[in-house]
Structure 1
């Protein structure tokens, strides 16, 4: 079998089913429409297009939520797809929220501890992990410093510094969600999420940030399927060709550089194979990877899934009868 063919089959039916899901939930929630944070990325573009096709542009609202470390192309691409679909939208920069919490300054202080030469007036930064399939260490994140678009240095992070940076960066997604709900509740709209299955399975989203939404139409679609949907829906080619990224670091950091640590099609095939318990020889034939790398990757996924269970779970609730 060809895993990518399985992932990408019946995309027209999938598109219709997803649109029906969005509409049904809007009806069930007694909402007038949906609101989305539009980032200029593939996931929000697909969710936006599906929403417009099912609900009509007049019942969809877009928010562009940039901050000073967003990629320069994010806002123009987000605005362009909203305009092409006839969706009303508004730009609400979240930098003032982050500045009021001193997020940028706190982040600079952490980076300076790891990178003595770091100058925020000169350098852009990104957080990355070594390539997993080529033998990179599993848990050694490091900071890259870039100047004039070129990486000039990289420094390993202590675990405590890494955790602090993750906490500071998560404020960006959580700030965006605060703004989305402020608008959605005023309009009586549902907040539509954009997390795909690759991200959902691996806990690649921020709890109460981009994970804090009313509906998640793409949560059972691997990233590969999202790209197939984008082509089927004729999403702007500039968005389809843009490397997927959380867009929270001043030096553009792709999902492959940090979260996936391997090509998108490879990780999706490995996750699909694990989900469907495919034989190793089938996985090897599809991915071109030797058996030891496949086994190592799937063990790694098991650890990641276990460590991120709390992100996907509803908060435990104490009850008087002793059940949790």
Structure 2
């Protein structure tokens, strides 16, 4: 079996299923349309195109939600796809929200504790994890400082500082979702999410941030399938080729550098093989990885799934019997 062939087949049928799902849910919720946070990335571009095909451009609204550490290309590409599809959109910078909560200053303090040479005037920053295929199970986060596009320093991040930084960064996605619901409720629209199956499995989203939506059409589509959908829907090639990223660090940091720790084609084949209980030999032949590496990678994925289970879980409820 060729896993990549399985991942990329029947894309036209998948697109139709997703379109019908979007329409069915909007009708069921008695809403008029959909609000989408448009990031300039492939996931939101695919969702935007599907919504326009099924609902019509007049019933879709895009929100560009930049902050001062966002890549300028995110806004440019987001605006371009909205305009090309005839979708009305608005830009609402979230930097004032983050500044009011002192997020940037607090993050700078953590970075300075870890990187004494850090100067926010000259350095861009990124949070990275070692490449899994070359380092194995080593799971130590590092802060990197960049000056003029080159790595100026790299420091290991302590666990307590890592947790603090993750908490601060999560405020960005949660602030964006506040704005999306403000518009959605005013317009009587749903908020349509953009999280795909790969991200969902790995807990690669912020609870009550980009995970706090009304519907998630892509939740059963691996990232590889999202790329195939993008090609089928004629999404701008610049968006398709752009390395996917949460875009919350001043130095553009790809999901491969932090979340996946390996190329997405390898990650998706491992996830697909695990989900479909494929033999080690089949996964080994498809990925081109040695059997031992495949075994270790599958164990790593299982650990990630377990450690992020709380992110996917609904709030626990206490029932009192009287």
TM tier, smaller: over 0.9
For the aligned residue pairs, the C-alpha RMSD in angstroms reads 0.8
Range moving further from structure 2, 297-306 or 105-114: 297-306
Normalising by the residue count of structure 2, what TM-score does the alignment of the two structures yield?
0.99
Question: Is the contact between residue 126 and residue 250 of structure 1 (CA under 8 Å) also seen in structure 2?
Answer: yes
Separation in structure 1 between the aligned mates of residue 59 and residue 300 of structure 2, nearest angstrom? 42
Task: Tell me the equivalent position of 1:293.
Answer: 293
Separation in structure 2 between the aligned mates of residue 22 and residue 271 of structure 1, nearest angstrom? 25
Question: Is the contact between residue 34 and residue 190 of structure 2 (CA under 8 Å) also seen in structure 1?
Answer: yes
Task: Tell me the equivalent position of 1:191.
Answer: 191
Question: How far does residue 90 in structure 1 lie from its aligned partner after superposition?
Answer: 0.1
Task: Tell me the equivalent position of 1:220.
Answer: 220
DSSP 3-state at the match of 1:133: helix
Question: How far does residue 321 in structure 1 lie from its aligned partner after superposition?
Answer: 2.5
Separation in structure 2 between the aligned mates of residue 206 and residue 106 of structure 1, nearest angstrom? 19
Question: How far does residue 139 in structure 1 lie from its aligned partner after superposition?
Answer: 2.4
| Moved >3 Å (runs of 4+) | none
Task: Tell me the equivalent position of 2:138.
Answer: 138
Task: Tell me the equivalent position of 1:9.
Answer: 9
Question: How far does residue 138 in structure 1 lie from its aligned partner after superposition?
Answer: 3.0
Query: Superposition pairs for residues 282-321 of structure 1, below 5 Å?
Result: 282-321=282-321
Query: Superposition pairs for residues 1-324 of structure 1, below 5 Å?
Result: 1-321=1-321
Question: How far does residue 153 in structure 1 lie from its aligned partner after superposition?
Answer: 1.1
Question: How far does residue 264 in structure 1 lie from its aligned partner after superposition?
Answer: 0.4
DSSP 3-state at the match of 1:70: coil
Separation in structure 1 between the aligned mates of residue 36 and residue 308 of structure 2, nearest angstrom? 25
DSSP 3-state at the match of 2:21: helix
DSSP 3-state at the match of 1:151: strand
Question: How far does residue 72 in structure 1 lie from its aligned partner after superposition?
Answer: 1.2
Question: Is the contact between residue 137 and residue 296 of structure 2 (CA under 8 Å) also seen in structure 1?
Answer: no
Q: Structure 1: which 5+ runs fail to align?
A: none
Separation in structure 1 between the aligned mates of residue 298 and residue 134 of structure 2, nearest angstrom? 15
The count of aligned residue pairs is 322
